[in-house]
Structure 1
Amino acid sequence: MVDWSGGNDTGPTPRKDAIWIGEAGQSPRYLRNRLLAEEDLAEQIETSLTKGERMLIGFDFPFGYPAGFARALTGQADPMAVWDWLTARIEDAPAANNRFDVAGAINRGFGGASGPFWGNPLKREIDGLARTKAGYANPFADKRACETRARGSFTCWQLAGAGAVGSQVLMGLPVLNRLRQRFAGQVAIWPFDPLTAPVAFVEIWPGLINAAVRAATGNGQIRDAVQVDMMARVLAGLAPDRLAAMLAVNAPEEGWIFGLGLEQELTAPVSLKPPPLRNDCFALPPGVDWTPVDQALGMLQDRLTPVVGIEEVPLMQAAGRVLAGDLVALRSNPPQANTAVDGYGFAAASLPEGDVVLPLVQGRSAAGVPFQGAVPAGHAVRVLTGAALPKGVDTVVLDEDCAVDGGHVAFRGGVKPGANTRRAGEDVTKGAVALQVGQLMTPADLALAAAVGLGRVPVFERLRVGVLSTGDEVVEPGAEAGPGQIFDANRAMLLTMIARFGFEPVDLGRVPDDRSALRARLDEASQRVHLVLTSGGASAGDEDHVSALLREAGAMQEWRIALKPGRPLALGLWEGVPVFGLPGNPVAAFVCTLIFARPAMGLLAGAGWSVPQGFDMPAGFSKSKKLGRREYLRARIRDGRVEVFKSEGSGRVSGLSWAEGLVELPDGAALIQPGDRVRYIPFGSFGL
Structure 2
Amino acid sequence: MHSLETMLDLLRQQPLPPPRLEMAPLHRLPGRVSAQTVRAGHDLPAFDASAMDGYAIAATPERPLGPYTLMGCVAAGAPDGGVLEPGQAMRVLTGAPLPRGCHGVVAQEHARLEADGVVLAAPLCYGAHMRLRGSELMRGERLVAEGERLKALHIGLLAAQGLSALQVYARPRVGVLSTGDELRAPGETLAPGQIYDANRPQLLALLDSVGAEAVDLGSVADDPAATRARLREATEVCDLILSSGGASVGDADHIRDAVDALGSISHWQVAIKPGKPFAFGHVLGRPFVALPGNPVAAAITFLLLARPLVRRAGGEAVAPQEAVAYPLLDAADNPGPRRHFLRGRFVDLDGVRHVEPFEQQGSAALATLASAEVLLELPAQARLAAGNRVRCHPLTTLGLR
Q: TM-score, normalised on structure 2?
A: 0.93
Does 1:295 find its partner at 2:295?
no
C-alpha distance after superposition, 1:334-361 (max 9, x if no partner): 111111111110234x443543321110
**C-alpha distance 372-429 of structure 1, shift in aligned 2 (>3 A):** closer
Amino acid at match of 1:361: M
Q: CA deviation at 1:601?
A: 1.1
| SS state at 2:232 partner | helix
Aligned equivalents of 1:645, 1:360: Cα separation in 2: 71
Aligned equivalents of 1:355, 1:373: Cα separation in 2: 22
C-alpha distance after superposition, 1:388-436 (max 9, x if no partner): 2122224111112112125511114543321111111222222222111
Q: CA deviation at 1:369?
A: 2.8
Alignment gaps of 5+ in structure 2: none
| SS state at 1:356 partner | coil
Is the 2:228–2:259 contact (alpha carbons within 8 Å) kept by the matching residues of 1?
A: no
Q: Give the alignment of 1:357-368 within 5 angstroms.
A: 357-362=67-72, 364-368=73-77
| SS state at 1:376 partner | coil
Aligned equivalents of 1:427, 1:354: Cα separation in 2: 30
Q: CA deviation at 1:613?
A: 4.8
Q: Which structure is higher in RCO with an 8 Å CA cutoff and minimum separation 6?
A: 2
Alignment gaps of 5+ in structure 1: 1-289
Does 1:385 find its partner at 2:97?
no
Aligned equivalents of 1:398, 1:613: Cα separation in 2: 47
Q: Which residue of 2 aligns with 1:651?
A: 364
Is the 1:330–1:454 contact (alpha carbons within 8 Å) kept by the matching residues of 2?
A: no
| SS state at 2:158 partner | helix
Does 1:561 find its partner at 2:270?
yes
Does 1:673 find its partner at 2:382?
no
* Structure with greater Cα Rg: 1
Q: CA deviation at 1:458?
A: 1.3
| SS state at 1:591 partner | helix
Does 1:682 find its partner at 2:394?
yes
| SS state at 2:154 partner | helix
Aligned equivalents of 1:534, 1:554: Cα separation in 2: 15
Is the 1:304–1:600 contact (alpha carbons within 8 Å) kept by the matching residues of 2?
A: no
| SS state at 2:56 partner | strand
Q: CA deviation at 1:307?
A: 3.3
Does 1:424 find its partner at 2:133?
yes
Q: Give the alignment of 1:327-342 within 5 angstroms.
A: 327-342=38-53
* Structure having the larger proportion of residues in strand: 2
| SS state at 2:181 partner | coil
Aligned equivalents of 1:578, 1:381: Cα separation in 2: 66
**C-alpha distance 468-425 of structure 1, shift in aligned 2 (>3 A):** same
Aligned equivalents of 2:135, 2:381: Cα separation in 1: 53
Q: Give the alignment of 1:147-186 within 5 angstroms.
A: none
Aligned equivalents of 1:406, 1:600: Cα separation in 2: 72
Is the 2:110–2:122 contact (alpha carbons within 8 Å) kept by the matching residues of 1?
A: no
Q: Which residue of 2 aligns with 1:631?
A: 340
Is the 1:301–1:609 contact (alpha carbons within 8 Å) kept by the matching residues of 2?
A: no
Q: Which residue of 2 aligns with 1:533?
A: 242
Is the 1:602–1:610 contact (alpha carbons within 8 Å) kept by the matching residues of 2?
A: no
**C-alpha distance 345-351 of structure 1, shift in aligned 2 (>3 A):** farther
Does 1:400 find its partner at 2:113?
no
Q: Which residue of 1 aligns with 2:229?
A: 520
C-alpha distance after superposition, 1:373-402 (max 9, x if no partner): 322332010111121212222411111211
RMSD: 1.9
Aligned equivalents of 1:627, 1:387: Cα separation in 2: 69
Aligned equivalents of 1:608, 1:463: Cα separation in 2: 14
* Structure having the larger proportion of residues in helix: 1
Q: 2:65 aligns with which of 343, 355, 358?
A: 355
Is the 1:335–1:425 contact (alpha carbons within 8 Å) kept by the matching residues of 2?
A: yes
Q: Which residue of 2 aligns with 1:21?
A: none
C-alpha distance after superposition, 1:637-659 (max 9, x if no partner): 13332111112221222111121
Q: CA deviation at 1:679?
A: 2.4
C-alpha distance after superposition, 1:31-77 (max 9, x if no partner): xxxxxxxxxxxxxxxxxxxxxxxxxxxxxxxxxxxxxxxxxxxxxxx
Question: Larger deviation: 589-598 or 545-554?
Answer: 545-554
Amino acid at match of 1:680: C
Amino acid at match of 2:11: L
Aligned equivalents of 2:384, 2:156: Cα separation in 1: 46
**C-alpha distance 540-406 of structure 1, shift in aligned 2 (>3 A):** farther
Q: TM-score, normalised on structure 1?
A: 0.55
| SS state at 2:68 partner | strand
| SS state at 2:296 partner | helix
Is the 2:79–2:97 contact (alpha carbons within 8 Å) kept by the matching residues of 1?
A: yes
Is the 1:344–1:382 contact (alpha carbons within 8 Å) kept by the matching residues of 2?
A: yes
